[in-house]
Amino acid sequence: MSGFVDEAQLHVKAGDGGAGAVAMRREAHVDKGGPDGGDGGRGGNVWLIASHNQSSLLAFRDHPHRRAGDGGHGGGKKKHGARGEDLEVPVPVGTRVRTLDGTLLADLVHPGDRWLAGEGGRGGRGNASFLTNHRRAPAFAEQGEVGHEGWYQMELALMSDVALVGFPNVGKSTLISRISAARPKIADYPFTTLEPNLGVVRVDDGSDFVVADIPGLVEGAAEGRGLGHRFLRHITRARVLVVLVELDPVTGVSPAEQERILLDELARYQPDLVTRPRIVVGSKSDMLGLDATEEEIVGADLLDGFRPDLLISSVTGMGVRTLVGKLTQLVDEARREEPESDGTIVIHRPLPEGFAVTRLDNGEYLVEGKAAERVVALNDVTSDEAADYIQHRLKRLGVDRALNRAGARDGDVVHIGDLSFVWYVDQPEFTGDGNRRRRSTQG
């Protein structure tokens, strides 16, 4: 079983907020003690954190669920519930997070990058928070919000300085094993490498760079042929590309045609890949009896017009040292041109704001948005004081105006969150009738 996984699904459940308490101060020496119900604690968040200690998404393949702690409930004497414990989930550097339909949400490209995958529900306010000059003994409190829950698609694009690109069996694995400590599987048949391999190349001056051995590409990879999308994804992070071309191909594809196909596949998958610094290298020069030094590239008559930047033989070592030197220079130049990270993560999902009113097919109305849903999240909406509070808050939010613009009239049924009620401009009718509660399948 492979230990490398570059695609996995993640299910997150943030913690639910604790409910606020309804309590009155009851002490012998205190006359007419007021409300003293405490607030509920906020639910814990679920964070994804990019870490060098993770190398693949294997941990999520069989165990995709992650849950944060729930907030504690409030109590009497204004005791607030404990905050739910946050959950920090380490993921490999280079992890992209998408919705199940493919929309990109976040890209964690630096160690320590954090992304809020699940926001904990807000704790409900206890009745002590609703005390006003006009409301001296509120007998209602807020329920805690439900924490965010959902599925994500995660994909890993390896972070490397150099990507080795070529047809199957052109010598990529042999080359990476020659210039680094990586020991990939090597055999004399196509598709020996079925997953990317990373190797660290250490240079004499003490510097180093990371090389990725990308599984062999085939014509049509940009359309997904031969798992092309999964393989090509790991090239997108590389600063420098090595286009490795087999000089004595067993497939019968000429070196020049190999180069054309590879560059065409890169351009179709992501156009900017062909503008990155690259070296075109002819591999297995020992098979043609060519001296793999830069000065000896004189075999144009044997290579059908193919003009590589360098000829190498990973078996004999000819040209390998020169290649490492060229890559060191290109990687160093590419690193210097990159702006320094300020730790900011680009969040691709806009945060929802306000609320929205939708007219349902049955003529009823649905109000969606956290601001409005929080207003009606009380433990008891049947009392006059709770109804007055809800009406006042919804009016301040502009919900009544939005309902009027949407065509709502007195007597229409309105749904907000899990609560359904008959809407009247002057006074909504919060009956608490279970038959008026919106079914979870509506909206």
Region class of 274: left (phi > 0), else alpha (psi between -120 and 50), else beta: alpha
Question: Comparing 18-22, 72-76, 183-187, 320-324, which segment has the lowest mean pLDDT?
Answer: 183-187
Domain locations along the chain: 1-155, 162-337, 356-436
Q: What is the pLDDT of the chain when averaged over all its residues?
A: 81
Give the model's pLDDT for residue 392: 86
pLDDT of amino acid 56: 81
The pLDDT value recorded for residue 68 is 97
pLDDT at 298 over 60: no
Say what the pLDDT of residue 421 is: 85
Place domain 356-436 in its CATH homologous superfamily: GTP-binding protein OBG, C-terminal domain (3.30.300.350)
Chain position carrying tokens 């760079």 = 209
pLDDT number for residue 434: 39
Lowest pLDDT segment from 46-60, 114-128, 279-293, 397-411: 279-293
The pLDDT, as a whole number, for residue 268 is 86
Q: Is the pLDDT of residue 433 over 50?
A: no
pLDDT at 409 over 60: yes
For residue 374, the cross-strand partners are none
* Domain boundaries 1-155, corresponding CATH code: 2.70.210.12
Residue 297 has pLDDT above 70, yes or no: no
Res 145 pLDDT > 50: yes
Question: What's the CA gap between 59 and 384, in Å, rounded?
Answer: 52
407: left (phi over 0), alpha (psi -120 to 50) or beta: left
> Does residue 166 contact residue 219 with C-beta atoms inside 8 Å?
no
Q: How far apart are CA 212 and CA 107, in angstroms?
A: 20
Question: Does the pLDDT value for residue 437 go beyond 50?
Answer: no
User: Tens digit of pLDDT for each residue in 375-391?
Assistant: 888 877 777 788 888 88
- pLDDT at position 225: 46
Q: pLDDT for 344-369, tens place per residue?
A: 555 555 555 678 999 999 999 999 98
Higher per-residue pLDDT: 87 or 376: 87
The pLDDT score that the predictor gives to residue 237 is 83
Residue 428 reports pLDDT greater than 90: no
27 pLDDT above the threshold of 60: yes
Task: Give the 3-state secondary structure of residue 262.
Answer: helix
CATH code for the structural domain at 162-337: 3.40.50.300
Radius of gyration (C-alpha) of the chain in whole angstroms: 31
CA distance 389 to 240: 63
The predicted pLDDT at position 352 comes to: 57
pLDDT given at position 31 = 65
Give the torsion sign (CA, 290, 293, 298, 301). Answer: positive
